[in-house]
Structure 1
Amino acid sequence: MKQLIFNMTLKIYLYIFGRVSFQKFNHAAIRFHLRSIGILNYSNHLQSGEHFFIKQELKKIVRKKANLVFIDGGANIGSYSESLLKKFFPKAQIYAFEPNPTAFRQLINIKDNFQAINKALGAECKQSILFEPTNNPGSSHSSLYRLEHGAVNQIQIECTTLDAFCMQQGIEHIDFLKLDLEGNELDALHGANSLIKAGKITCIQFEFNEINYISKITMQDIITALPNYKLYRMLPKGLTPLPSAAYLQNIYAYQNLVAISELTQDE
């Protein structure tokens, strides 16, 4: 009976909205609907859900633990660290990675439990090239992938891995890892493989957008790199489980996702 009702409803819906004259309306409706499921909410930290997540959800996840360690991967000038992490977790030790030299010169002005590292996070410790829009020095959209069609500066940078960095610094556990690497998030996860498999990273926030289409990364690639993690899409006021259907996972438009370690939560 339910299937019959669904088929009849679908037939009527397609009869009305499947017409050429309704396509502009349909496209506008899709853009609004995407925002309701946590996609394209890029205007600010309130709309994206990052403010609510750091203020409310992250506190539950880290459980008032002492000596918190946070990693801000792709920190740019430090807006995320200053306006969210340091505001709600003032005692946490933050390590912020930013390879762009122009942005890094501003990042190092942040003090108190904050260490800026002029390197990119990736899958290997090596030299690489950062592509920066010529008309926007220090751009938050600088990337290891050539994204701009216009003129770009090519900047030689150093890459490291989270596994190597934590070993050098004697960091045994990361409570929160934020990755905004303009398409290089999967490589950074591969570079943290030992930490991830050992359940040494409690929570990971990362972006997924059109850049992942350019870098040929699917959501399944990321899921595979995160065994024993539950994935959620960020909403303005909460988290919703990532759908299992591939066509609902691989929407190449701005969104923030959160991966929470089942190993850490079971401790």
Structure 2
Amino acid sequence: MISELLSRGAEQMSRVSVRQQGVVKMPGTPTYPKESHTLALIYEALVASEDMAARCHTDQLTAGFAEPRLHHLTKALNRLAAVAGVHVARTSYMDAVESFRYDLFSKWTSVGMVRSALQDPAAFDPAYASLQDDASRALFDWFVHVRVAYATIGEQALTLYPAPIGREDYAKVILSLGKRTPEGYRVGRWIIDSDPVAIIDSMLREQYCLPGIVEPQHGDVVLDIGAYKGETALWFADRAGPEGCVLALEPDLQTGVVLRRNIERNLSATMAPIRVLPYAAGAHEGPARFIVTADSSSTLGIEGDITVAMTTVDAMIVEQHLSRVDFIKMDIEGGEVDALRGAEETLKKFTPRLAISVYHRPHDLPDIVKLILRACPDYRLYLSHKSPGLAETVLFAKRGDSS
């Protein structure tokens, strides 16, 4: 239905549109580029999703023909069960229904991205055009394809458009972590008290590193914005070495207790010192409401159950007397856009290497690209994704003339 409407709209657009200055305009509709890479991806994913849904439907309609006795038995049982308001279904049918399930976060961000991209493809296309290599551009295509599919067919989207890392490969990494001890998980020479997924993504999969392109270096001053329980802060401190420095921002005071304990237990003389700062990063300074969850998804929000201190990156640089910043990582559950607004002067002055999460909000990717390039047009941008699901897409940036 959706693809039919879009196709019909495209045909009407080609017949009655007025072409001016490289755009297509219809009365009462948004303005579209003549050729939009993002819109082409949306059409492709809608057609593929429709085909998959149709195949699954047909398979279920004909499943009973392969086992006629079971089919007739099921029909007889349902005639009897209807009196009690019960319906009997084949296991294969229930498996098919389960395969189209979805989680609320992925559904929201997927539907929102589709709506945003249809309404304003001119915002998404520059993000694609700014990417520096084929791997990043292919990942952009997957990023759009899989979200369009997820908006329509749920988890089957990951069958249609598999993530760059498969579930089996990710499961092997989980097994390599081993069992939790009373103090936490052992990761090399460290013992980390944290969630296994946070440890795997940050320390084992190294999702905030794009090897050979954008990675922390010896002697770096690093801002770890969204430090959680210290997984990334310790990883950065190890990479930066004693000549460097890591500033770890974590606004939740209870999480901060675990963060400090992990640092005290694991920090060594061969690592950079870590300063823990009890702040959320945002677009302005002052108190802010914070939603505390049982895992790393805690976030700023007016519905929050506690109040935390919020600062800007620009103000924090002054407060901490930093003469340079070399690397900034942001993974703050949807607060990245506001935090970048509060970091504009820092980006202009120091042009640090960046690792910014771009999957939390439907319009994050184009908004974050725009903010980074506004602060420094010389930034070169890359995309990476190291999880088997829709989460954990990271945008990397470095100044064009930097090594």
Do they fold alike, i.e. is TM over 0.5?
A: yes
Alpha-carbon separation, structure 1, partners of 2:331 and 2:216: 25
Give the gaps of 5 or more residues in structure 2.
1-43, 58-95, 100-148, 171-195, 268-272
Runs of 4+ displaced beyond 4 Å: 23-29, 41-50, 52-56, 60-65
Q: 1:94 aligns with which of 237, 241, 246?
A: 246
Aligned position for 2:299: 143
Aligned position for 1:76: 228
Alpha-carbon separation, structure 2, partners of 1:124 and 1:19: 46
Q: Deviations over 1:195-245 (max 9, x none)?
A: 1123x1422112233x413xxx432111111013233221449xxxxxxxx
Aligned position for 2:327: 176
Question: Is contact 2:329-2:356 (8 Å) kept?
Answer: yes
Q: 2:361 aligns with which of 180, 199, 212?
A: 212
Aligned position for 1:127: 287
CA shift, 1:72, in A, is 0.8
Alpha-carbon separation, structure 1, partners of 2:224 and 2:354: 10
Question: Is contact 1:54-1:88 (8 Å) kept?
Answer: no
Question: Is contact 1:205-1:256 (8 Å) kept?
Answer: no
Report whether the alignment pairs 1:203 with 2:349. Answer: no
Alpha-carbon separation, structure 2, partners of 1:62 and 1:264: 15
Give the gaps of 5 or more residues in structure 1.
1-9, 148-152, 238-251
Aligned position for 2:395: 258
Report whether the alignment pairs 1:22 with 2:172. Answer: no
Greater Cα radius of gyration, structure 1 or 2:
2
SS of the aligned residue for 2:299 comes to coil
**Cα RMSD for the two superposed structures:** 3.7
| Aligned amino acid, residue 392 of structure 2 | Q
Aligned position for 1:103: 255
Alpha-carbon separation, structure 1, partners of 2:298 and 2:226: 10
Q: Among all aligned residue pairs of Structure 1 and Structure 2, give the percentage whose two residues are the same amino acid.
A: 19
Give TM-score scaled by structure 1 length: 0.68
SS of the aligned residue for 1:116 comes to strand
Question: Is contact 1:76-1:98 (8 Å) kept?
Answer: yes
SS of the aligned residue for 2:211 comes to helix
Question: Is contact 2:328-2:353 (8 Å) kept?
Answer: yes
Q: Deviations over 1:71-129 (max 9, x none)?
A: 111111112222x2233333331100001011011222314501100110111111111
Q: 2:164 aligns with which of 29, 32, 36?
A: 36
Q: 1:51 to 1:87 in 2, by over 3 A?
A: farther
More RCO (CA 8 Å, sep 6+): 1
| Aligned amino acid, residue 212 of structure 1 | R
Aligned position for 2:211: 57
Report whether the alignment pairs 1:155 with 2:322. Answer: no
CA shift, 1:143, in A, is 1.0
Alpha-carbon separation, structure 2, partners of 1:202 and 1:264: 12
Question: Is contact 1:49-1:236 (8 Å) kept?
Answer: no
SS of the aligned residue for 1:233 comes to strand
| Aligned amino acid, residue 370 of structure 2 | T
Alpha-carbon separation, structure 2, partners of 1:68 and 1:236: 24
Q: 1:53 to 1:86 in 2, by over 3 A?
A: same
Question: Is contact 2:314-2:342 (8 Å) kept?
Answer: yes
